[in-house]
Amino acid sequence: MSILDRIRRIAKANISRLLDMAEPAEQELQAKIKELEEAILEGRESAATYGATFRRLETELDQLKQSQTECTKRAETALKAGDEKAARKALSEKVKLAERIAQMQPGIERGRKTYDMLRDNIIKLQEQLKAAKLKMADLEARKRTAEAQLAFDKHLDRATSLNPEGVAFDRLEEQVLQDEAQVQINQELRGDSLTEVELAQRSRELQIEAELEEMKERLEQD
Protein backbone atom coordinates (compact mmCIF):
# COMPACT_ATOMS: atom_id res chain seq x y z
CA MET A 1 0.00 0.00 0.00
CA SER A 2 1.43 3.37 -1.01
CA ILE A 3 1.89 6.15 1.52
CA LEU A 4 -0.81 8.17 -0.20
CA ASP A 5 -3.34 5.33 0.04
CA ARG A 6 -2.40 4.69 3.66
CA ILE A 7 -2.77 8.33 4.64
CA ARG A 8 -6.07 8.63 2.78
CA ARG A 9 -7.35 5.52 4.59
CA ILE A 10 -6.33 6.81 7.99
CA ALA A 11 -7.64 10.30 7.29
CA LYS A 12 -11.03 8.89 6.29
CA ALA A 13 -11.18 6.52 9.27
CA ASN A 14 -13.96 7.24 11.70
CA ILE A 15 -11.92 8.02 14.81
CA SER A 16 -14.86 9.90 16.32
CA ARG A 17 -16.45 6.58 17.31
CA LEU A 18 -13.43 5.73 19.40
CA LEU A 19 -13.18 9.20 20.92
CA ASP A 20 -16.89 9.28 21.81
CA MET A 21 -16.78 5.96 23.66
CA ALA A 22 -17.47 6.33 27.37
CA GLU A 23 -14.49 4.23 28.37
CA PRO A 24 -12.27 3.48 25.34
CA ALA A 25 -9.45 1.03 26.00
CA GLU A 26 -6.32 3.00 26.87
CA GLN A 27 -4.11 0.74 24.78
CA GLU A 28 -6.44 1.10 21.79
CA LEU A 29 -6.31 4.87 21.99
CA GLN A 30 -2.53 4.87 22.45
CA ALA A 31 -2.20 2.67 19.35
CA LYS A 32 -4.37 5.10 17.37
CA ILE A 33 -2.25 8.05 18.52
CA LYS A 34 0.93 6.25 17.50
CA GLU A 35 -0.55 5.39 14.09
CA LEU A 36 -1.60 8.99 13.53
CA GLU A 37 1.82 10.32 14.52
CA GLU A 38 3.58 7.90 12.16
CA ALA A 39 1.18 8.69 9.31
CA ILE A 40 1.67 12.44 9.79
CA LEU A 41 5.45 12.04 9.77
CA GLU A 42 5.39 9.90 6.61
CA GLY A 43 2.86 12.23 5.01
CA ARG A 44 5.02 15.27 5.64
CA GLU A 45 8.05 13.55 4.14
CA SER A 46 6.06 12.44 1.08
CA ALA A 47 4.45 15.86 0.70
CA ALA A 48 7.88 17.47 0.83
CA THR A 49 9.10 15.10 -1.90
CA TYR A 50 6.05 15.62 -4.13
CA GLY A 51 6.13 19.36 -3.51
CA ALA A 52 9.81 19.69 -4.38
CA THR A 53 9.35 17.59 -7.54
CA PHE A 54 6.36 19.39 -9.02
CA ARG A 55 7.66 22.83 -8.06
CA ARG A 56 10.97 22.06 -9.80
CA LEU A 57 9.01 20.98 -12.87
CA GLU A 58 6.91 24.15 -12.67
CA THR A 59 10.09 26.22 -12.63
CA GLU A 60 11.37 24.32 -15.65
CA LEU A 61 8.00 24.81 -17.38
CA ASP A 62 8.15 28.55 -16.81
CA GLN A 63 11.63 28.63 -18.32
CA LEU A 64 10.42 26.70 -21.37
CA LYS A 65 7.56 29.16 -21.85
CA GLN A 66 9.98 32.07 -21.62
CA SER A 67 12.14 30.37 -24.23
CA GLN A 68 9.06 30.04 -26.44
CA THR A 69 8.47 33.77 -26.18
CA GLU A 70 12.09 34.47 -27.06
CA CYS A 71 11.83 32.16 -30.12
CA THR A 72 8.80 34.08 -31.31
CA LYS A 73 10.64 37.38 -30.94
CA ARG A 74 13.70 36.05 -32.81
CA ALA A 75 11.49 34.76 -35.66
CA GLU A 76 9.76 38.14 -35.96
CA THR A 77 13.07 39.96 -35.90
CA ALA A 78 14.50 37.63 -38.59
CA LEU A 79 11.49 38.10 -40.85
CA LYS A 80 11.72 41.88 -40.52
CA ALA A 81 15.34 41.60 -41.55
CA GLY A 82 14.40 39.39 -44.50
CA ASP A 83 16.13 36.33 -43.05
CA GLU A 84 13.45 33.68 -43.52
CA LYS A 85 15.86 30.85 -42.77
CA ALA A 86 16.62 32.22 -39.31
CA ALA A 87 12.91 32.77 -38.75
CA ARG A 88 12.16 29.13 -39.57
CA LYS A 89 14.89 27.96 -37.24
CA ALA A 90 13.48 30.02 -34.39
CA LEU A 91 9.96 28.74 -35.03
CA SER A 92 11.27 25.15 -35.16
CA GLU A 93 12.77 25.60 -31.71
CA LYS A 94 9.47 27.04 -30.55
CA VAL A 95 7.57 23.95 -31.77
CA LYS A 96 9.97 21.62 -30.00
CA LEU A 97 9.56 23.62 -26.82
CA ALA A 98 5.77 23.36 -27.17
CA GLU A 99 6.05 19.58 -27.44
CA ARG A 100 8.22 19.45 -24.31
CA ILE A 101 5.74 21.65 -22.46
CA ALA A 102 2.84 19.40 -23.49
CA GLN A 103 4.70 16.35 -22.16
CA MET A 104 5.48 17.97 -18.83
CA GLN A 105 2.10 19.49 -17.98
CA PRO A 106 0.21 16.23 -17.10
CA GLY A 107 2.95 15.19 -14.66
CA ILE A 108 2.98 18.61 -13.08
CA GLU A 109 -0.80 18.56 -12.66
CA ARG A 110 -0.69 15.10 -11.08
CA GLY A 111 2.10 16.20 -8.75
CA ARG A 112 0.15 19.30 -7.71
CA LYS A 113 -3.01 17.28 -7.02
CA THR A 114 -1.08 14.67 -5.05
CA TYR A 115 0.62 17.36 -3.00
CA ASP A 116 -2.67 19.14 -2.29
CA MET A 117 -4.29 15.83 -1.31
CA LEU A 118 -1.44 14.96 1.03
CA ARG A 119 -1.54 18.42 2.57
CA ASP A 120 -5.31 18.25 3.15
CA ASN A 121 -5.11 14.75 4.62
CA ILE A 122 -2.23 15.75 6.88
CA ILE A 123 -4.37 18.58 8.22
CA LYS A 124 -7.16 16.08 8.93
CA LEU A 125 -4.72 13.73 10.63
CA GLN A 126 -3.38 16.56 12.78
CA GLU A 127 -6.91 17.43 13.89
CA GLN A 128 -7.58 13.78 14.72
CA LEU A 129 -4.29 13.53 16.60
CA LYS A 130 -5.13 16.62 18.63
CA ALA A 131 -8.56 15.19 19.49
CA ALA A 132 -7.04 11.82 20.41
CA LYS A 133 -4.42 13.39 22.69
CA LEU A 134 -7.07 15.52 24.41
CA LYS A 135 -9.14 12.40 24.95
CA MET A 136 -6.14 10.55 26.33
CA ALA A 137 -5.33 13.42 28.71
CA ASP A 138 -8.95 13.42 29.89
CA LEU A 139 -8.89 9.66 30.45
CA GLU A 140 -5.62 9.84 32.38
CA ALA A 141 -7.00 12.61 34.60
CA ARG A 142 -10.18 10.61 35.23
CA LYS A 143 -8.11 7.53 35.95
CA ARG A 144 -6.02 9.36 38.56
CA THR A 145 -9.17 10.77 40.15
CA ALA A 146 -10.78 7.33 40.28
CA GLU A 147 -7.67 5.78 41.82
CA ALA A 148 -7.52 8.52 44.46
CA GLN A 149 -11.21 8.03 45.24
CA LEU A 150 -10.75 4.27 45.57
CA ALA A 151 -7.83 4.79 47.95
CA PHE A 152 -9.88 7.23 50.01
CA ASP A 153 -12.84 4.87 50.12
CA LYS A 154 -10.55 2.05 51.26
CA HIS A 155 -9.24 4.10 54.18
CA LEU A 156 -12.73 5.31 55.00
CA ASP A 157 -14.01 1.74 55.12
CA ARG A 158 -11.31 0.90 57.65
CA ALA A 159 -12.19 3.94 59.76
CA THR A 160 -15.90 3.16 59.80
CA SER A 161 -15.56 -0.57 60.33
CA LEU A 162 -16.30 -0.21 64.09
CA ASN A 163 -19.25 2.10 63.58
CA PRO A 164 -21.39 1.61 60.46
CA GLU A 165 -23.12 4.95 61.04
CA GLY A 166 -20.00 7.01 60.81
CA VAL A 167 -16.33 7.25 61.65
CA ALA A 168 -15.50 5.39 64.87
CA PHE A 169 -14.43 8.22 67.21
CA ASP A 170 -15.24 6.35 70.46
CA ARG A 171 -11.88 4.68 70.94
CA LEU A 172 -10.02 7.77 69.85
CA GLU A 173 -12.03 9.95 72.24
CA GLU A 174 -11.42 7.51 75.11
CA GLN A 175 -7.68 7.64 74.50
CA VAL A 176 -7.74 11.45 74.35
CA LEU A 177 -9.65 11.65 77.66
CA GLN A 178 -7.19 9.24 79.26
CA ASP A 179 -4.25 11.33 78.08
CA GLU A 180 -5.88 14.55 79.28
CA ALA A 181 -6.54 13.02 82.72
CA GLN A 182 -2.92 11.89 82.97
CA VAL A 183 -1.72 15.38 82.07
CA GLN A 184 -3.99 16.91 84.73
CA ILE A 185 -2.74 14.51 87.41
CA ASN A 186 0.87 15.22 86.51
CA GLN A 187 0.19 18.95 86.77
CA GLU A 188 -1.46 18.52 90.19
CA LEU A 189 1.43 16.43 91.46
CA ARG A 190 3.93 18.96 90.27
CA GLY A 191 1.86 21.71 91.88
CA ASP A 192 1.71 20.00 95.35
CA SER A 193 5.27 18.79 95.47
CA LEU A 194 7.88 20.62 97.57
CA THR A 195 11.00 22.10 96.17
CA GLU A 196 14.42 20.98 97.43
CA VAL A 197 14.79 24.18 99.49
CA GLU A 198 11.40 23.61 101.08
CA LEU A 199 12.26 20.00 101.83
CA ALA A 200 15.51 21.02 103.50
CA GLN A 201 13.71 23.63 105.64
CA ARG A 202 11.09 21.07 106.61
CA SER A 203 13.78 18.61 107.62
CA ARG A 204 15.46 21.16 109.87
CA GLU A 205 12.18 22.06 111.55
CA LEU A 206 11.46 18.40 112.29
CA GLN A 207 14.96 17.96 113.72
CA ILE A 208 14.53 21.03 115.92
CA GLU A 209 11.18 19.79 117.22
CA ALA A 210 12.65 16.38 117.99
CA GLU A 211 15.59 17.83 119.94
CA LEU A 212 13.27 20.24 121.75
CA GLU A 213 11.07 17.37 122.98
CA GLU A 214 14.16 15.43 124.04
CA MET A 215 15.42 18.40 126.10
CA LYS A 216 12.01 18.81 127.80
CA GLU A 217 12.02 15.22 128.87
CA ARG A 218 15.55 15.49 130.25
CA LEU A 219 14.77 18.62 132.22
CA GLU A 220 11.69 17.05 133.70
CA GLN A 221 13.75 14.13 134.92
CA ASP A 222 16.26 16.42 136.63
Q: Could you read off the pLDDT of 156-170 as tens digits, one per residue?
A: 666 555 554 555 555
Higher pLDDT, 8 or 46: 46
Position 46 pLDDT exceeds 50: yes
Band (95; pLDDT cuts 50, 70, 90): very high
- Per-residue confidence (pLDDT) for residue 13, from 0 to 100: 59
User: Per-residue DSSP letters for the chain?
Assistant: --HHHHHHHHHHS-HHHHHHSSS--HHHHHHHHHHHHHHHHHHHHHHHHHHHHHHHHHHHHHHHHHHHHHHHHHHHHHHHTT-HHHHHHHHHHHHHHHHHHHHHHHHHHHHHHHHHHHHHHHHHHHHHHHHHHHHHHHHHHHHHHHHHHHHHHHHHHHHTTT-TTS---HHHHHHHHHHHHHHHHHHHHHHHSPPHHHHHHHHHHHHHHHHHHHHHHHHHH-
- Per-residue confidence (pLDDT) for residue 68, from 0 to 100: 92
Domain boundaries, the chain: 3-159, 170-221
Average pLDDT score, the chain: 76
